[in-house]
């Protein structure tokens, strides 16, 4: 048994787990945070995506003990306009991939904001990479949705990005943000 300390959704949590316990199972089975989903347990579907210090990770491929002292954000700790955007654009049907899509999208937007290119980025030297539909699709391709809500997910992410850009450019709007 290992003693692990994680900061999850802003709360310090200690848990005793075997070293083989995945971060995903630690969240779901030990901490009751079942918002993070298990779709394959093999790193192939993205349903288990969470944010570790703001970066997206597949929690089924991560061991809880590896994340000692790290800041983990799960869907239960997300409070972002992107969630409303998913509802508005119907970016899900059954909802099982949704937690992963949302966490992944937030991590992806941060990667993009930090200037990370993707496999479809054309001008790598450009100061700012435009987050086109093709860019979003490429960057989100690790998150499967068998219900096929991809169009709605892309629209929700685009809207979120547009709002963020607008708010960045017009500082007064920031106060109105929910």
Partner 1 sequence: MTTYVGEAVDRVDGTAKTTGGARFSAEYPYPDLAHAALVHATVARGRITRLDTTAAEAVPGVIAVLTHRNAPPLKPAPRVTPLNLATLASGTSVNYLNTDEVHWNGQPVAVVVAESPEAAQEAAHLVEVAYAHLPATVDFAAAEPDAKPQKSNLIMSGGAVKGDPEAALAAAPVALDLRYTTPPHHHNAIEPHATTAHWADGRLTLHDGAQNIYWTRDHLAMRFGIPKDDIRVLSPFVGGAFGGKTMVWPGTILAAMAAKATGRPVRLMLTREGVYRTVGGRTPSTQRVAVGADESGRMTALIHTSVTLTGRVGGGPEQVTSQTRHLYDAAAIRVQQNLVELDVLSNTVMRAPGESIGTFALEATVDELAYRLGVDPIELRARNEPARNPMDGKAFAHRKLRECFEQGAKEFGWAGRNPEPRSTRDGRWLVGTGVAAAYHPSWQFPANVTVRLSADGTALVRCGFHEMGMGGATAQAQIAADALGLPVEAVTVEYGDTRLPTGPGAGGSAQTASVAAALVAACEKLTRLARALARRTPGAAGASYPEILRLAGRDSIEARVGSDTRLGTAVGQLRFAGKLMSDRRRWVKAACGAQFCEVRVDADTGEVRVTRWLGVFDVGRVINAKTAASQLRGGIVMGIGMALAEETLVDPRTGRIMNASLSEYHVPVHADVPAIEIRYLDDPDPTMPLGLIGVGEVSITGVAGAIANAVFHATGRRIRDLPITLDKLL
Residues of this chain that interact with partner 1 (CB under 8 A) are 18, 20-21, 25, 28-29, 32-45, 47, 74-76, 78, 83-84, 86-88, 90, 92-99, 102, 133, 136-138, 140-154
Q: Which does 102 bind (CB under 5 to 8 A by kind): partner 1, ligand FES, none?
A: partner 1
Stretch of 38-46, 77-85, 103-111, 155-163 lying at the interface with ligand FES (CB under 6 A): 38-46
Backbone angles phi, psi at 63, to 5 degrees: -90, 140
How many Å apart are CA 127 and CA 34, to the nearest integer? 40
Token couple for 167: 């708010």
DSSP 137: H
Q: Is 92 in the site for ligand FES (CB under 6 A)?
A: yes
Stretch of 39-47, 70-78, 108-116, 117-125 lying at the interface with ligand FES (CB under 6 A): 39-47
Q: Which does 153 bind (CB under 5 to 8 A by kind): partner 1, ligand FES, none?
A: partner 1
Pairing of strands 49-52, 11-17: unpaired
**Residue from 7, 30, 41, 137 binding ligand FES (CB under 6 A):** 41
142 Cβ partners below 8 Å, 6+ apart?
A: 46, 49, 58, 104
CB of residue 83 to partner 1, shortest distance in Å: 4
How many Å apart are CA 145 and CA 22, to the nearest integer? 23
């Amino acid at each position: 048994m290992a003693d692990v300390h994680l900061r999850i959704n802003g709360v310090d949590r200690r848990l005793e787990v075997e070293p083989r316990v995945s971060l995903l199972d630690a969240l779901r089975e030990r901490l009751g945070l079942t918002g993070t989903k298990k779709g394959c347990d093999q790193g192939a579907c993205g349903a288990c995506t969470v944010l570790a210090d703001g970066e997206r990770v597949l929690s089924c491929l991560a061991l809880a003990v590896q994340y000692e002292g790290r800041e983990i954000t799960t869907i239960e700790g997300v409070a972002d306009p992107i969630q409303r955007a998913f509802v508005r654009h119907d970016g899900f049907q059954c909802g099982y991939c949704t937690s992963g899509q949302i966490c992944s999208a937030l991590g992806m937007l941060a990667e993009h904001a930090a200037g990370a290119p993707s496999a479809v980025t054309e001008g790598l030297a450009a100061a700012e990479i435009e987050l086109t539909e093709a860019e979003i699709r490429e960057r989100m391709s690790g998150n499967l949705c068998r219900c096929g809500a991809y169009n709605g997910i892309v629209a929700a992410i685009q809207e979120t990005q547009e709002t963020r850009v607008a708010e960045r450019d017009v500082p007064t709007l920031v106060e109105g943000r929910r």
